[in-house]
Amino acid sequence: MSIDVRRFYTPKVLPETVPSGIEGLDKILLGGFPRGAVVLLAGNPGTGKSTFAARFVYEGCRRGERSIYLNFVEPRRDFYDHMTMLGMDFEECERKGLFHYMEAVTIADEDALITQLEDLVKLVMETKAKRVAIDSITAMLQIVKVPSRVRELLQNIFVNGFKPHQVTTVLIAEHPYGAKVVGYGIEEFIVDAVFILKYRLSRGKIQRVLEIRKARWAPIHQAEFPFRIKPGIVIDISLPEEPEEIPPLDYSRTISLCDTLFRVHGLVELGIGAKEITRAASICDYLHIAKGSQVLIGVSPVIHSTLVLSTIASSLMLMGEDILIVSFKNSSKSIADMLECSLRVVGSPDEKPLPNVVSVNPTVYTLVELIDLISSAIDQFKPSILLVDGLEAIEVVETRKERYYASLYNLLVRSKKKGVTGFYLYSVPSRVQLKELPVTPLFELSIYIEANPRSIVEYEYEPLGLETSMEVYHPLIHVKIPVRFRTNNLLQFCTRV
């Protein structure tokens, strides 16, 4: 019997929840915010607080709930224009009578503030609004300045006033760099949840992070979650994948490893000599992998990865697979050229479409962005096969190894969940080092390809070629197979005009 470990930490009785519209956050919070909850959203300048709150009230519009956004810092037009760029049409919500924007940028004294808050309460009651966002209570604190008075206002309006009417409220607050508490500190005690948005700088790149400091109704096991602001999705939180969600490998649908690596006849051949070729062919009967498997291919640095990559891609193309190639070290053009050469060797028609190739400089992006990029490409192109070239290059992006391993694990799980078979090329000096890599156990199968140089005398009787050996660490067999790349044929077809 399959048991989801999350059941041991989930409360037996859950409150009625209000989805925030932020998919990852709702999953963490067991569906969203409790109806009537008061949520404090604090953060450094520019971390996405207003966008976060706007997504919450916009979700109300999407669900037919009336919502109100009271803004002390941003004019209506600026707010609408910014949110439209992210895919949220608040003017349409306003036309439907589901949204009210209260602009309060001119409030300068406590009397005017009290009047504005009274108008807010009146509008909530008249429209029967169920979602309210205040941007920001920091502006209120700057006007009132007396801590006891601030607590009185927050308690009477948002806790005692809105909560009994099941109005869910998000309060935005500025959180200066280095500050340990939000505002006067009292704000955190009267609310149901505290979220902190902040920046993390990694090698000159900005990574936004959500810290869940408090959520009374939900068990929180991980405190920080990277997120991105993306048009359409708006707030995209990167969550760890759950092994429980991985479907079992389907061994009724398998791929021959030998066909995958050596189907390009005329370019690659197994064994050196008749006996070795016969033995290698018999071993190939065992070297099958289930579709959805993730395979790590270690390649000696003296072997150019595009040679191995094009061989695998050409073989899989001839097998009728839909392929997506993501390269962190070679350009799309160089990969396409090598693929065309490989296909010419076997006489494949020139009109045969080449795989989709995404070439990425890993130093430009954060690790979360790179994993998200691969996942998005899989969603867009829907391949049956994913080929990743230069997996080792991702390590330069993240200095903390545990984050790198966790992110790679999540990528492998996502690929398995989508039924995509993955081949990951990793340049590593020796097979011993491949076996010692902490990431190797994450894969169903690992392979190491190394060069076996020949003497110049041997080339007097044999055509030009690259002699290698392929060591396979398969669940059923551990074997080393001689492999020859017929680079003479490749050279012939690639240099033709």
Q: Do 209 and 262 share a domain, yes or no?
A: no
Q: Which of 239, 255, 279 is the last residue of a domain?
A: 239
CA 116 to chain centre: 42
* One domain for residues 379 and 457: yes
Quick count: other Cβ atoms within 10 Å of Cβ 252? 7
My answer on whether 200 and 230 are in the same domain is yes
CA distance 274 to 240: 50
Which domain-ending residue is among 239, 254, 287? 239
Residue from 183, 169, 76, 71 nearest 138 by CA:
183
* Residues 121, 193 share a domain: yes
Sequence length of the chain is: 497
Which CATH number goes with the domain that contains 13? 3.40.50.300
Residues 210 and 122 reside in one and the same domain:
yes
Taking the C-alpha atoms of residue 173 and residue 94, their distance in angstroms, rounded to an integer, is 25
* Average pLDDT of the chain, as a whole number: 86
DSSP state of 242: P
- Per-residue tokens: 426: 């990793």
Pair (55, 140) in one structural domain: yes
Quote the domain boundaries for residue 383.
Answer: 244-494
**DSSP string of 318-362, one letter each residue:** HTT--EEEEESSS-HHHHHHHHHHHHHHTT--TTSPPPEEEE--G
User: Is 460 found in the same domain as 331?
Assistant: yes
In this structure, the answer to whether residues 39 and 186 fall within a common structural domain is yes
pLDDT digits (tens, 9 = 90+) for 220-258: 888 899 999 999 999 999 888 877 778 888 788 888 888
Nearest to 312 by CA among 414, 413, 447, 431: 447
Any residues with CB less than 8 A from the CB of 280 and at least 6 apart, and which?
258, 270, 271, 481, 482
Last residue of a domain, one of 184, 207, 239: 239
In a shared domain, residues 147 and 114: yes
Question: pLDDT of the chain along its 497 residues, tens only?
Answer: 444 545 545 565 678 999 999 999 999 999 999 999 999 999 988 899 999 999 999 999 999 999 999 999 999 999 999 999 999 999 999 999 999 999 999 998 999 999 999 999 999 999 999 999 999 888 888 888 787 888 888 899 999 999 999 999 999 998 876 666 675 566 778 899 999 999 887 777 888 999 999 998 998 888 899 999 999 999 999 888 877 778 888 788 888 888 887 666 667 777 655 456 566 667 777 788 999 999 999 999 999 888 899 889 988 988 889 999 999 999 999 999 888 888 877 666 656 788 999 999 998 888 888 988 999 999 999 999 999 999 998 877 777 788 888 889 999 999 999 999 999 999 999 989 998 888 899 999 999 999 887 655 555 556 667 888 889 988 878 888 888 887 776 666 676 53
Instruction: Answer yes or no: do 112 and 256 share one domain.
Output: no
- Treating both helix axes as pointing N-terminal to C-terminal, what angle do 332-345 and 305-318 enclose, rounded to 10 degrees? 60
Q: State how many domains the chain has.
A: 2
Per the structure block, which two tokens stand in for 317?
């193309």
| CA atoms of 280 and 278, how far apart (whole Å) | 5
Statement to judge: residues 214 and 341 lie in one domain: no
Q: Are residues 32 and 88 in the same domain?
A: yes
